[in-house]
Every structure is written in C-alpha cells, then in structure tokens.
Structure 1
Amino acid sequence: MTLLGPGGAGKTRLSQEGAETAAAASPEAWPHGVWLAELAPVDDPQTVPEAVLTALGARETVVRGTTAEGLRAAADPTALDPLARLAEHCAGRRMLLVLDNCEHVIDAAAGLAERLLADCPGVTVLATSREPLAVPGEVLRPVEPLPDPVALRLLADRGAAARPGFRIEDDRAACAEICRRLDGLPLAIELAAARLRMLSPRQLADRLDDRFRLLTSGSRTLLPRQQTLRAVVDWSWELTDEPERAVLRRLSVFAGGCDLAAAEEVCAGDGVDGREVAGLLGSLIDKSLVVAAPAGEDGGGGEMRYRLLETVGEYAGERLDEAGERAGAERRHLVAYRELARTTDPLLRGPGQRAGMERLELEHDNLRTALRRALAAGDEHEALCLVLSLQWFWSLRDHRSDARHWATAAAALGPNPFAAPAEPAPDLHESPIDRPPPMAPEQLLEARREVRLVALASMDSDIAALRDPVLKEELAGMLTAYRTGMPQTCKVPGAMWFYAVVVTGRVDELAELVDGAVRACRDFGYEWELGYILQLRSKVFNDHPGGLGQAARDADEALRLFLRIGDAWGAAEALSGRGESHEKRGAYGAAADDYRAAMVHAEDLGAHGQILLLRCRLGAVLIEDGQAEAGERMLREVLADAAKGNSGRDTEPFARLTLATWLTATGRFQEARAELSRVHELFSPRAPDLFAGMLQALLISLDVDEGHREGLLPRFRQAMELMQDSMARMVAPDLPVVQLLTGARVLMAERGYAAGGDAARLVGAYDALRADGQVPPRIIRRDRARTEAAARALLGDSAYARAYAEGSGLSLGEATALI
C-alpha cells in the first residue's frame, strides 16, 4: 500500500501511527517486526537497497577477514548485489516494511518493492510517496488535506503549545481562514501555529499572501525540507522536469480549477505542445502537485477538473513570474474564457439553457478573473465582450451585483455614448458579440451603449442614484439613441432601454412602445426575441386598464414560442404572466395551475430565485381561493427558504408584504406589524418612494385597525405623495386608487361624523376609478365593505347615497384632494 499525497500532508506520521497500531492489534501478523526505512536522506538511487538493509540491521561490516573469506564472498552471487541480499534476508520472514519518502528515488524504490513482493511472500510493504510506485499489487491510499474540524483541532492544539491560553473560539473565523488557505496541510498548519507566539490569528490570516517568508519556523528535529513551507514545495518542484514545470506554473493563472480543454489551451506554449498537456497533467497529479476531481457537487459523473492547492498555486505563480511567462499565460486564459462566455450565451435561449448556465456557474471564478485582467489591462474590447456575453447569464442566475459591478467598470474604459449631445443609433442586426474582438467601430459604439443599459437595469432600485444629474443626462441620451422597433431594442440587452422609458416618467407610452417592438420582431423574424417581448407586453397589459384579455393572449403566444424553442425560463415567465392575468380576473384556480406549471419549468432550469417567487404567488392565490391555511404555510416556507441564501432577495419583501396583508385581515396585528418592519429593514435606507409610501400606508392602516386616532392624516398625506411617482404608475397603477379607501378610514378615525361625506365620496371614487374587469384582493374587498358600512353608519343611507354619487364623478386628483 502506498500513502499518496502532497508535501506536508502527514504521510510519514500516518505511516508510523498506522504501522504501530496494526502491529499492536495483530502481533501474529508480523512476528518478525515492523521496520522503518527512511529514504529521504538517500541521494543516490543505487544505494536504496543498502539503506533498507541498514534499517533492517542486516548489513554486515567485515572489520578483519582472511583471504579465504574474501574468496568465498566473491564466489557468493548475492555478496555484491544489495537487492539480492535484502531479498535473501527477508525471504523467510513475516514482517511489515515501511518505505518512507520514496518520491525522489521512485524507480529504485519501485524495483525494490516489486522484488520483495515477488520473492518474499511474508513481507508487507507500506510506502509513502508523492507519486505512486506503480508496481503490480499496489493499493493507493490518498492522504488528503485535513477536513475543517480536524484542521481546526490541530491548530488549537499546536497554537496552545506555542502560546499558552490560545483558543480558536476567540477568533474562529480567522482560524478557519488560516486552515482553509493552508489547504488543511498539517505541516503548514503547524508552521502557522508556531507564528501565533507573535501574531494574532487575524494578523496571521491577513499575511498568508506572503506565506513562504512567514512560515519558516519549523521544528529543528524535522528534516531540512520540512522546516519551512518553501522547502516543502521546493522538494516537490525539484522532482519535476521542465515540461512539467511549465504546465504547473501556467496552471497558476486559473481560479477555481479548469477542465482539460482549458488546460490544453492555456498551458501550451514554449516547450509544451498542446497534445502533451494531458500527459503532463497526469504526471503532475501522480506527483501530488495537481488535484484532480470530477466536476459537480456530488463529485460523480462530471468531467474531471484540475486545480492547485493554494500553497502550490502561490509557489507556481512565483515561478511563472521568474520565467517571464505571466503575460502570455494570462492572455491565453482571457481569450479562452471570453470565448467560453461568448459562445455559450446563445445556448442560454434554447434547450441547452441549463447546461450552459451550469457551465458558466462552474467557471464563474475564471470568468471574473478574466474580467479583472481585461480591466487591469485597460482592454475595452475584451471587457465589453465579456460583460455583454455574461449579462443574460447574470440575469438568469440573479447575479445582479456582478452585472452592476462589471458593467460599470467596463463602461468606464471608454467614452459615454449617451453624454450630451447624444446621437441616434443606427439599426444593427449584428450584435457586438457575434464575432470575437476586436470590434468594428460601429459595433464598439453599440457595445458601449449596451453595457450602460446593463448597468442601469441592475441598479437594484437605487432611487438616490436615479436622481443623480449625470444619470438623468444619460437616461435622456438613451431615449435619444434608441427607439422602438430597432433590431437592438428587440434584443437583450437593448430591450432594457424600456427601463429608461419607465424611470424617466414616460410610463403612459410604454404599451405603445412595446407594441412597436412586437411588430418589429415579427418583421425581422426574431423568434426568441418575439417571445421575450410578448411576455414583457403581457405584464404591461396586466396592469393596463382593460388590458387583461390582451395580456392573456400575449402570454399564450409567448408560451407556445418558448416551448417550441425549448427555453424553460421563457416558458416559466409566460406561464407566470398568464397566471397573473387569471389572478386579476379572480380565476384563482386557473392562476394556481399556471403558477404550478411555471414552477416545473423553473425547477428544470434550477432557477431557485424564480421558483421562490412563483411559490410566493401561489401562496397568495391559495389564500384568495379560500385555502388560507395552505397559502399561509407556503408563504412561511418561502420565507424560511429565502433566509438560507440570496436567491430570495427579490421574493422576501413580496412574501412578507403578502403575509402581512393576510395577518392584518385575520386580526393578527402585531405579527403583521413585525413583517412590515422587516420589509422596511430590507429596503432601508434606499427604499424607492413607491415602496416607502406603500409601507407607510399599510402601517397607518394597522394603526386605524388598532384604534389609534392621533396624527394619522399628515402621515398618510406624505405616504400618498410618495406613491405618485412614475414608478408607481408602472409597477402598481391601481395603488393610488386603493389608497382612497385607506384615506376614507383615516379621515373617519380622526374627524368622526364630519368626515362621513368625504368618506362616502372616496368610496364612490374608488368604485369608479378601479380597473375594469379586475377582481380586487380579499383584503381590499373587506376594506371597501367596512369603509362603506362606517360611512353609512355616520350619514344614514340617503346622505351616503348622495355623497357616493358625487364621488363617482371625481378624477383621481380630485378625490385625492379630499384627503
């Protein structure tokens, strides 16, 4: 058996402990003992048998002899063959032989082991090496880095020995970082622990980028090659030939490992043919310098990936700099991953969607590294190509912070095409990423425009930023450059110019502009883009007066298109839009069916954020459909799942608002208030005016429910002002109308009988202004009924009827003025 692993993994200690434990447990197995042959000091492979003979005490030193004895020795065929003498010595014995540190004399150690196994059936060999002996009958047992709990325990033990009173509990995060960054290697952890005499765990963790100068205080009783971290890795480096060294140092440019194709592309170059890389990788794996493991969380069935331990990677990076190869290797890495992103992007709009997303997710560290290097080099073409190739993947996987950060940084490399005076963009059917860089001048200008659309769409409702004068000028430039019906505005990310339309207050034009995009997609023959724009128009018409029928037809057509194309994301979005249309018409059973069907597509895609949002919508529909217990349970499950990761960032506020509404309807006011407070925390301090106003109005409604009377009206007026912006007209156009009912309740709470007439007028205005064909949610129907009942109780039926009729003729502005 060979214990196989990198330097410092603890192979020697494990071999000794294992041998002693086994011998103690079964003394009859090796009655002739357990013997250790330390091969590290052996410089000449030819002397390996003699070193083992010495370890076994089997070497005979003749101090004085006769000529006859010399002649007899010369006639003995084994006298001058140490390996034969060793085999003769061991032939009749049952023993365990430990061959420690074989890697630098690997051929000689392998020959010795094979001879003993063939000639000495009672001998068991336990070897330690950084690469296999590769002899018949060898069993390999990898000695892998310590798992986290064990590594921490080792650090705690050695740290306490170095500094009495040391406890990992005092800074567990820093201690865990030390163990992780030292790859769980016992020797490295012991060297780090010795430094705890002078450094805190946090100071030590912060200095591990300079680990080779830092970790130099090993035990004087260790072999010289184990007294410093650099010596450990130097020993392995010296065992490689020049082609292996070239591949090893070039592997240091990867982040998070790589597959074979990427390794062949990046590691080929001076002295190494691309066809040789696979074999050289195999040799480096055998020498425990490269780690190979299947891709995927379960580690099974995936393509093999190759990575360096962090310590080996830092060492290899130093060697890369010494060889003067960094610029070339990093350039090959950048090109490889730019092409991966660019050629995978089209696959994200069809049956290869999930595989493409998983591939990009697996390589996300390498893609970020490529972006970082393109930006550091000021290479605008490469940076723009990478961002535009990744923007749809970021959108599908909800990597919004990545989209915003990298798009903003890439945009800063060139002039702002939307700065005044902005120019109208020409129609371009070809995308800037249809071909590899460098880009033609008109494509470069279009890429500069599109990357700023990506940054705008990923702003995460940062209202303060939207009010910035520089951004306002940029938004105006977007509206000058683009128009509906252009090839660019039919596609993503060009279609994001609709976001500029909304935030600049042109919401009333949105339906007409999207109509133009639908017509253009049909004219251009853009199939996927037509599905995308149709599902977008479906959502626009869901909030448009009298638009529910058109919304459902658009969702149906989008669904047919996406199913034919094989786009699971699109199918889920189309079903979600159709479900919303059913929900607004009060067809809750049909809405629930669509949301469940959408969840199936989202699950096929692995779109966790999309699934959470659909479950939240389904929970709300179940409550409306009279299945309140099941609906509430689903909302609470959504919140529990959202708390486990950031995929619920968009869903959590919606789920809490929905739950708070239901809790209010069932009289659980304190629970409802707690949910609303949590929503406020999620949005603070950059809450959009719409949400800030809506939250304030909901809290005021709770105050009325709980019997509060003082100071409600000024607060409610402020809330209504916040809900008057253009975003409110886009996201929730009926919200100001619904607030007329809350306003009526606030007036009656503060003024009593004197407010009865205005309250009745507000109910009449609400009924007249409410969107045609839409069935209000249960809590709004309840509020409307009790507002009417309270006003009737104050006025009487006839006076109420007159005031109600007066309110029916008021505009929204006139009705709001009553409050």
Structure 2
Amino acid sequence: MRYCILGTTRALRDDGTAVPLGGARLRALLTVLALRPGRTVPAGVLVDEVWDGDPPADAAGALQALVGRARRALGRSAVESVEGGYRLAAPPDAVDLHRFERLAGEGSRALEEGDAAHALALLEEALALWQGPALADLPDRAATASRWEARRLDARRAGLGALLALGRAGEALPELAVLCDAHPLDEPLQVLRITALRDAGRPAEALAAYEEVRTLLDDRLGTAPGPALRALHTELLHQEPATPPAPGSAHRPAPGRPPAVGAGLPPAAPAPAPPGNLRARLTSFVGRDSDIAALRDDLGRSRLVTLLGPGGAGKTRLSQETAEAAAEGWPDGVWLAELAPVDDPDSVPEAVLSALGARETVLRGAGAEELRATDRTGADPLVRLTEYCAPRRMLLLLDNCEHVIGAAAALADRLLAHCPQLTVLATSREPLGVPGEFVRPVDPLPDPMA
C-alpha cells in the first residue's frame, strides 16, 4: 500500500488503484498517521489533530470507531494498536511526503557533487509527487504544511540550479519568473534568475533585474543585496561583449567560463531551439494513442479544447504529449502555463506572461518587440498578454484551470476574441464555459495499461 498526503489524502494499492476513503475525518486520521509512518502516534495527539481541538464527548470511543473504519478500508494490519496509541504499518518510502524528502535530499547532494544531470532527474521525480497543497486534509495544517512547502521551494531552487548547470537557462527562465514574483525577497532565487538571463544571452535584462531587486530590498528591508547578488552584478558590469576572433587567433571564452573542448576554433553557430517551453518527460507514455489522435482532430476544429476529468486521470500528460506531437502546426510555439501554483485569480495573466517568457516584453508596431524592465504600474498584464499573442500562431496550454476557473475562463475568452491565430488547450475538473469551447472527457487508464 502507498499513501499520498501531498495533496488530497489517498491510499493506493500495489496495482495503483485507489482505496475509497469516505469522510473528512478518516482522511485526516490517515494524514496524521502517514506523517509518522512506523511510529506510534499517541491517542491524544490523534484526537487533537483529527478533531482540531474540539473533541467529541467520548473521544476514545470515537477514535476507536474511526480506526475501525480505516482498517476496514485499508486492511486490518494497516493500522496497528500499540500501548497508548496507534501507528501506520508502512515504511517511510511508502508515503509520498517522505519519499519526496529522500529524493530531494539525494538530488541536492548530487548537485553539490557536480552531477547536475542525476540531480535534475532526482529532483524532478521528487517534485512530481506533489498533487496539491501538502496535508490538504489536515484540519489545522498551517504550521506543519508551511515547513514542507518551504522544502518544496528548496527542491525547486535546486532543480533550477541543475538546469542552469546543464546549460538550459532558457528552460529555467519561465519558472524562475513565476517564483521570483511570488518570493521577491528570496535572494537565492533572484541569483538564479539573473544568472539565467545572463546565460541566455540577455545581459541588459539581467542588469535591469538586479536593479529591481536592489530597489526592492532597500524599500522593504532597508538592506543592500547580499554577497552573491553583488558578485553577480560585478561580473555583469565587467562582462566583455562577444567579438569574432581575429584571423589566425585563438577563440577566447567569456570571462568566468571554462574553455570549451576545441576552444581554439570559432564555435559553430548553434541550431535554433524550437519555440515553446515543454519539458522532456522522463517516463514512457502508453495507452493513449487513440486519445491523442482524437485530440489532434479536436484542435483542428476548435480553438478552445478543454480536457475534463478528475484529478489523477492524466489530463496534463495527455495535453503535453498531444501538443508535442502536433507542434509543427504552430510555428510560434507550444507554451505551457501551469495555474496550480497561482493563488490569486488576478495574477493569472501575469503567470501566463511569465510562462511565455514575455513578462518584460511589450509589442510595438507591426511585429517589432521592445524589452523593458518590469513596471508594476505599467499596462495591465491582460492587455500586454493580448498584445503579445495577437500576431502569433501558437498553442497555449492552460493546465489545472479548476484552481482559478473564473479567471482562466475570462482570460481564454479575451485571448480567443483578440488573437485570431491562437489556440487554447485547457485541462480542468470543470468546463470553462467559454463560447466555442469543445470539452473532451478524460478517464483514468483502464487495467492492464494503468
């Protein structure tokens, strides 16, 4: 049996099927036990956390009855009675939260040891375990969940650092923009973002981002940037512009960078990267060939297609696999905007701008673009987003729309009305309700493919 508490509490059998867990208190009990797998949880602690400090008159009897329900659902041996309390008979790795902690720790250590590729694989596996807010079914979750959310942020930082170490700054920038908006005073994140801008060949934007952070730290905290930010700023100020090597001279690498193999030769012109921000998947994809074919037909007929289904049905993966397979149909790219991390509906346009790598881009004239530093008092993000998308033929994936359904629907309606070459593929647990929307239900994979 495996237990999931990074999101809605679930119990999964070895074959991956879910065990029905009816009732909020039963899920709360399992959450408390799964936080401490293999360890005794005193009865008093269980009562206090499950009933949120308001226990029933016969607390001991109510707890026994609840444990009985858990055993009927999970199997009698799943919850053991011990002196003074109960314990979940499971190793730590059977609980997603503890598996996340192990994988994230191994990934961070691999990054420190210089194995960025292995670190990235471990950290992506760890972060994929998150299916929603930590301990979502615990009545009083704030204090405990905040520690795990902070650990998740650490893992995301490390994963982005691994991407930069692998020379994939362009892939890291959209997520860094979102995280830096959410945590503007987090200096390690800002270091990563400015480094990514530098490594992506955008030094002017890197300097503008540094100045933005410096001003913010001074206004809010009355402090100057720390040593890491200052050192990065100095490097940017003294960075020499790239110049073609003189005839017969050796090619000199940029300051602060190790020379590449064959550095005596001018570097070959890099192949243009395909537009978009879809990341390579680490696992194979089976059992959805007919769904992909049908969805490609849907996208050829409708400019708004919504994949509708419950959590865990595979909507996100299906949307990405289909978009990647059909990417040639959108010359301006396939772009994924993840809406699950967005807490404020008003931030949805800004989050999509960041996903497009266009948060600091304003359209001027017929197709020309002019970069500027972020201006919080400037044009409305929805207006900027509309201007950016209007001349482009692109596919926009809006993932997990149910978290901000009203704002996602309003954004899709606005973009489709003003951007005639844009197509939107959404995933959601409920329809967006926008005129012209085509809804395709997605069911979980049947056995034996699951």
Same fold (TM over 0.5): no
Higher relative contact order (CA 8 A, sep 6+): 2
Greater per-residue strand proportion: 2
Larger radius of gyration: 1
Q: State the TM-score, normalizing by the size of structure 2.
A: 0.33
TM-score, normalised on structure 1?
A: 0.20
